């Protein structure tokens, strides 16, 4: 089950499959696509898992066991890779709230987001090699972009599972917070992103805009009422 909550520009997508530790099945892929459709227009998107044990524990092996041939495996990989590409390409900032472990395909979903906030005590790893396979949902490439080619090969090639502190040290996670304040922390961050010009900034830092487009985006924001209202508040405080 996928739950989507919309609140004043903030979309929170929750993967809620407790019987499978929030693992991804073929039906879940379809539900994720529909949830992303419904989230269109949100100014920030959060992806999280239900509970506190797993963000996403990977692909649902019990259900995906029916995928046996090379062609079927390729079709399944393309299906979920398309979902992860949609997450990465979402026009507004995407936060992965790592409430629990993110393993295998779960780590691939996590790195499709722009920002990862982790509760302390979680673990993250591209450990597909334990099943004699490799990341196929775009995670290997995104991991390399985050931590570098050598580290990505080392992590995915050995299946190393990192604790939250080590993942943050390597640049795989942006923020680690105590479990007791985890919910408040990711909501505060997401709300801050949803109320500012973060979508414009995402386009610039992603390298998808020319210098002229970046300056034009700044100019539109400068001329908008929101900028002048904020500027007036700053000036009023200095008087």
Residue-wise pLDDT for 16-64, tens only, equals: 999 999 999 999 999 999 999 999 999 999 999 999 999 999 999 998 9
Q: Which domains does the chain have, with CATH numbers?
A: 2-193 (3.90.226.10), 209-238 (no CATH)
| Torsion, Cα of 123, 84, 215, 212 (10° steps) | 130
In this predicted structure, what is the pLDDT of residue 209? 84
In this predicted structure, what is the pLDDT of residue 103? 98
Please give the Cα distance from 45 to 91 (Å, whole number): 10
For the whole prediction, is pTM greater than 0.85?
yes
Residues 191 and 10 sit within 8 Å (Cβ to Cβ) = yes
Residues of the chain predicted below pLDDT 50: none
In this predicted structure, what is the pLDDT of residue 237? 83
In this predicted structure, what is the pLDDT of residue 236? 86
């Amino acid at each position: 089950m996928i739950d989507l909550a919309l609140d004043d520009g903030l979309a929170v997508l929750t993967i809620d499959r407790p019987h499978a530790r929030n693992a991804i099945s073929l039906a879940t892929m379809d539900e994720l696509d529909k949830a992303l459709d419904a989230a269109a227009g949100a100014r920030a998107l959060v992806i999280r898992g239900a509970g506190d044990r797993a963000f996403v524990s990977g692909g649902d092996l019990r259900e995906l066991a029916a995928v046996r041939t090379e062609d079927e495996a390729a079709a399944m990989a393309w299906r979920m890779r398309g979902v992860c590409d949609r997450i990465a390409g979402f026009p507004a900032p995407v936060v992965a709230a790592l409430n629990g472990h993110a393993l295998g395909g779960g780590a691939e979903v996590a790195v499709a987001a722009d920002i990862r906030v982790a509760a302390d005590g979680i673990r993250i790893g591209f450990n597909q090699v334990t099943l004699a396979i490799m990341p196929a949902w775009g995670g290997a490439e995104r991991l390399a972009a985050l931590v570098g080619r050598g580290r990505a090969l080392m992590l995915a090639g050995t299946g190393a599972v990192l604790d939250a502190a080590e993942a943050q040290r390597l640049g795989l996670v942006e923020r680690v917070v105590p479990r007791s304040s985890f919910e408040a922390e990711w909501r505060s961050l997401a709300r801050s992103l949803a109320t500012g010009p973060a979508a414009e900034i995402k386009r610039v830092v992603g390298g998808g805009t020319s210098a002229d487009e970046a300056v034009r985006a700044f100019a539109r924001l400068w001329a908008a009422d929101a900028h002048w209202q904020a500027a007036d508040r700053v000036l009023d405080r200095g008087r």
